[in-house]
């Protein structure tokens, strides 16, 4: 049993002989750590940064590289290539070798074990003692890359993927008492695997209930609070009483209210779009800035890819992520697989992804939602920044770099930047065309407009880039909210954080089938309803934290969207009835002021919305889509169908995640390069 003060591999430093006495750990005083995690982190940071010299780093690189070459695991030319890359990126040699696929992960750690003088332990075949492991904080285990494996004759075997340090030993003793520690080396994957196995329930609970425990009022777990339910019931009863006692006056009031709401929404969207469109030629982040970014300045970036029953797109996913212009050794791609989704897991294994891709199994349990999977991913994320991509996403290659620049240019409270989303199968059918029109308008005009007007931004489903630490402070995603992204953006704004946009696009697959589209849209609208209910639970607090302007933006976007779609069919029905019958009843419901607003909405409002979406696709140079903007009124009817379905589900199955099927498009193979809408694959 030996111990040494080896420096973490992260810094590339090697344990010098004189600083690595045998049984060092044993000689350390067995003091209890008062605030174990904090002190451990601090100590590790100190030992990492203070004791590393360039010479030592060079020695380690040389030792590791030479050792791999000597064992025939690496060709000298490959080592040279890796060292060259290391000089450019400043990253660990081991990570580079793994990322380049030159060495298998387990081989590398076996060699490291030899170099460090400890045994190698395979945690897949030597399961950890869960009771023992659970005495530790799993977050700390993840952060410090170690896990206690088992008791061995009163000593404790600790597996680590970092060189053991006195601080770590001190911390372990702080938790377990005066014990001897037997270090062993394992891969970082094994560590994560062991943690997932040992803390399955805790992970599930944290991913599911973490936000609720943090602040129940921020979680959509409670659909309606008492007062909200009371208010809704009162409102319903009030309307019913009004209809009974003063039918016409009540109907006029309702029609007026809806029309004023429509008007406000139209004007709001117009103003926001104008603000967004005005800066279209101002690039938030220029190509020159991206080009000037050096690889060694780049931090580790975590990419979360939640997948569920998407075996058919795994191959494409790997290919799409491979196109990212970011040092692969600094990428941590976590493929979040549901425990019960063997098919996708098998497809993922068969796709033989690079070693930068880590499979993370999400414990099975309700609600089975994407945000829950993302929370599990967030738990294991080690990147300074983090983003989410869907399995079929095709981000523009420089997106991560643009996000890094945006964070560096932005204020410290900038928690997230949202990239634009668009579709590669825009021209597949009428539905995909309409969807592209809508997305172009939303991501190219509305979100930049909200950004310029400093209004809260409801995030899009993917391609939102976070500062990982701030995201954790925010409590991650709400697994009970089916538009967790929108909710998170608004929660961030409410807590004083900033959300921005970047001028980069991720191309996705537009829904090309109506049923699938309705399911997806009903989820989105239900999520907006949930988000609206969550954020209006404490109206006074909301006004205080957000201000009236932000509140107005929030109500228009998040509350107004579902309400608009719910009301559209009623207004159209009234209009058609009036057109056909020209009855006086219709006229009675529209006294002058209401009539003018209604006409404004009908003529100017519809015209503006159609024109804005035309402009958005024009900006994207998707010229063939422009005439389809005229079909928007029909497309909005589809929204209304989805809205009623969403309302029904809110009442009956609030947390049910309507799964959107991907990989249905005939454009789905990743032969199309981002930046252009796809053409059918040959």
Binding residues (CB under 8 A) for other proteins: these are 277-278, 280-281, 592, 596, 599, 603-604, 607, 610-611, 614-615, 618-619, 621, 623-624, 626-627
Least Å distance between CB 88 and other proteins? 33
Q: Which is nearer to other proteins, 322 or 619 (CB)?
A: 619
Cα 179–chain centre separation: 41
Q: Structure tokens of 572?
A: 């159209």
Q: Which is nearer to other proteins, 224 or 578 (CB)?
A: 578
Q: Which is nearer to other proteins, 277 or 347 (CB)?
A: 277
Least Å distance between CB 503 and other proteins? 14
Least Å distance between CB 627 and other proteins? 7
Q: Which is nearer to other proteins, 16 or 626 (CB)?
A: 626
Q: Which is nearer to other proteins, 207 or 501 (CB)?
A: 501
Q: Which is nearer to other proteins, 362 or 589 (CB)?
A: 589
**Nearest of 24, 13, 91 to residue 51 by alpha carbon:** 13
Q: Which is nearer to other proteins, 60 or 613 (CB)?
A: 613
Least Å distance between CB 619 and other proteins? 4
User: Is the preceding peptide bond at 367 cis, omega within 30 degrees of 0?
Assistant: yes
Q: Which is nearer to other proteins, 125 or 281 (CB)?
A: 281
Which residues make Cβ contacts (< 8 Å) with residue 282, sequence separation at least 6?
none
Q: Structure tokens of 120?
A: 């190698």
The stretches of 384-446 forming alpha helices (DSSP H) are 399-409, 430-441
Least Å distance between CB 557 and other proteins? 21
Q: Which is nearer to other proteins, 540 or 580 (CB)?
A: 580
Q: Which is nearer to other proteins, 441 or 466 (CB)?
A: 441
Q: Which is nearer to other proteins, 154 or 592 (CB)?
A: 592
Q: What gap in Å lies between CA 149 and CA 429, rounded to an integer?
A: 56
Least Å distance between CB 276 and other proteins? 9
Q: What gap in Å lies between CA 550 and CA 272, rounded to an integer?
A: 13
Q: Which DSSP string do the residues of 373-391 spell out, in sequence order?
A: HHHHHHHH--SSEEEE--T
Least Å distance between CB 433 and other proteins? 14
Report which secondary-structure segment, H or E, holds 160. strand 155-160
- CB-hemisphere CA count at 13 Å for 187? 22
Least Å distance between CB 239 and other proteins? 28
Q: What gap in Å lies between CA 127 and CA 333, rounded to an integer?
A: 25
Q: Are 60 and 14 in contact (CB under 8 A)?
A: yes
Least Å distance between CB 277 and other proteins? 4
Least Å distance between CB 612 and other proteins? 8
Q: Which is nearer to other proteins, 552 or 618 (CB)?
A: 618
Q: What gap in Å lies between CA 448 and CA 364, rounded to an integer?
A: 38
Which residues make Cβ contacts (< 8 Å) with residue 578, sequence separation at least 6?
586, 587
Report which secondary-structure segment, H or E, holds 264. helix 247-278
Least Å distance between CB 620 and other proteins? 9
Q: Which is nearer to other proteins, 122 or 280 (CB)?
A: 280
Q: Which is nearer to other proteins, 269 or 370 (CB)?
A: 269
Count of Cβ atoms closer than 10 Å to residue 638 Cβ: 16
Q: Which DSSP string do the residues of 5-17 spell out, in sequence order?
A: -PPPGGGT----G
Least Å distance between CB 602 and other proteins? 8
- CB-hemisphere CA count at 13 Å for 578? 14
**Nearest of 498, 284, 302 to residue 412 by alpha carbon:** 498
Least Å distance between CB 610 and other proteins? 8
At residue 537's C-alpha, the angle toward residues 535 and 542, to 5°, is 60
Q: Which own/partner pairs from 664-667 qualify as long-range (CB within 8 Å, at least 24 positions apart)? A: 664/509, 664/511, 664/512, 664/513, 664/516, 665/425, 665/428, 665/432, 665/509, 665/510, 665/512, 666/425, 666/428, 667/424, 667/425, 667/428, 667/509
Burial 350-378 (b: 16+ CB within 10 A, else e): ebebebbbbbbbbbebebbbbbbbbbbbb
Least Å distance between CB 266 and other proteins? 14
Q: Are 181 and 169 in contact (CB under 8 A)?
A: yes
Q: What CA–CA distances, in Å, run from 551 to 262, 263, 532, 679?
A: 17, 17, 11, 42
């Amino acid at each position: 049993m030996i111990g040494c003060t080896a420096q973490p591999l992260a810094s590339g430093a090697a344990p010098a002989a004189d600083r690595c006495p045998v049984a060092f750990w044993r000689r350390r005083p067995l003091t209890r750590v008062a605030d174990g995690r904090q002190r451990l982190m601090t100590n590790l940071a100190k030992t990492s940064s203070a004791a590393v010299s360039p010479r030592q780093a060079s020695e380690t690189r040389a030792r590791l590289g030479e050792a791999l070459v000597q064992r025939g695991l690496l060709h000298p030319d490959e080592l040279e290539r890796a060292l060259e890359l290391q000089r450019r990126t400043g990253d660990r040699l081991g990570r580079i070798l793994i990322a380049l696929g030159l060495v298998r992960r387990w081989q590398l750690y076996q060699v490291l074990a030899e170099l460090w003088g400890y045994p190698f332990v395979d945690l897949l075949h030597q399961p950890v003692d869960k009771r023992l492991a659970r005495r530790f904080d799993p977050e700390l285990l993840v952060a410090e890359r170690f896990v206690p494996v088992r008791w061995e004759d009163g000593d404790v075997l600790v597996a680590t993927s970092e060189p053991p340090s006195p601080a770590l030993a001190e911390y372990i003793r702080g938790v377990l008492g005066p014990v001897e520690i037997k270090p062993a080396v394992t891969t970082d994957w094994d560590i994560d695997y062991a943690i997932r196995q040992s803390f399955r329930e805790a992970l599930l609970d944290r991913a599911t209930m973490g936000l609720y425990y943090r602040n129940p009022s921020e979680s959509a777990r409670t659909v309606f609070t008492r007062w909200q339910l009371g208010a809704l019931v009162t409102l319903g009863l009030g309307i019913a009483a009004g209809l009974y006692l003063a039918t016409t006056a009540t109907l006029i009031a309702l029609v007026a209210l809806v029309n004023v709401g429509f008007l406000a929404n139209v004007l709001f969207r117009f103003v926001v779009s104008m603000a967004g469109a005005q800066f279209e030629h101002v690039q938030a982040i220029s190509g020159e800035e991206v080009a000037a970014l050096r690889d060694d300045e780049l931090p580790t970036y975590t990419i979360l890819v939640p997948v569920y029953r998407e075996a058919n797109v795994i191959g494409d996913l790997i290919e799409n992520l491979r196109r990212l212009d970011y040092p692969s050794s600094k990428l941590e791609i976590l493929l979040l697989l549901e425990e019960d989704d063997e098919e996708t897991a098998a497809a993922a294994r068969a796709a033989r992804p690079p070693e930068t891709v880590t499979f993370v199994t999400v414990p099975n349990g309700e609600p089975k939602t994407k945000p829950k999977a993302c929370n599990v991913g967030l738990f294991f994320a080690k990147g300074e920044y983090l983003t989410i991509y869907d399995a079929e996403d095709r981000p523009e290659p420089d997106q991560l770099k643009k996000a890094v620049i945006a964070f560096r240019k932005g204020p410290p409270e900038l928690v997230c930047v949202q990239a634009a989303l668009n579709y590669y199968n825009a021209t597949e059918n009428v539905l995909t065309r309409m969807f592209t029109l809508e997305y172009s308008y939303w991501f190219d005009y509305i979100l930049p407009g909200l950004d310029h007007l400093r209004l809260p931004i409801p995030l899009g489903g993917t391609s939102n880039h976070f500062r990982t630490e701030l995201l954790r402070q925010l409590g991650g995603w709400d697994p009970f909210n089916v538009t967790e992204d929108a909710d998170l953006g608004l929660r961030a704004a409410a807590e004083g954080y900033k959300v921005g946009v970047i001028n980069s696009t991720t191309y996705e697959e537009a829904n090309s089938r109506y049923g699938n589209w309705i399911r997806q849209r009903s989820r989105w609208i239900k999520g907006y309803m949930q988000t609206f209910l969550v954020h209006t639970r404490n109206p006074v607090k909301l006004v205080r934290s957000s201000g009236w302007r932000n509140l107005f933006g929030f109500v228009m976007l998040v509350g107004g969207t579902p309400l608009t779609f719910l009301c559209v069919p009623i207004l159209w029905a009234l209009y058609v009835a009036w057109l056909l019958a020209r009855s006086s009843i219709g006229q009675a419901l529209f006294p002058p002021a209401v009539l003018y607003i209604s006409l404004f909405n009908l003529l100017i409002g519809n015209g503006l919305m159609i024109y804005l979406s035309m402009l958005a696709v024009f900006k994207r140079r998707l010229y063939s889509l422009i005439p389809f903007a005229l079909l928007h009124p029909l497309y909005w009817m589809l929204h209304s169908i989805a809205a009623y379905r969403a309302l029904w589900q809110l009442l009956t199955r609030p947390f049910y995640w309507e799964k959107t099927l991907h990989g249905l498009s005939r454009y789905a193979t990743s032969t199309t390069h981002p930046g252009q809408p796809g053409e059918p694959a040959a």
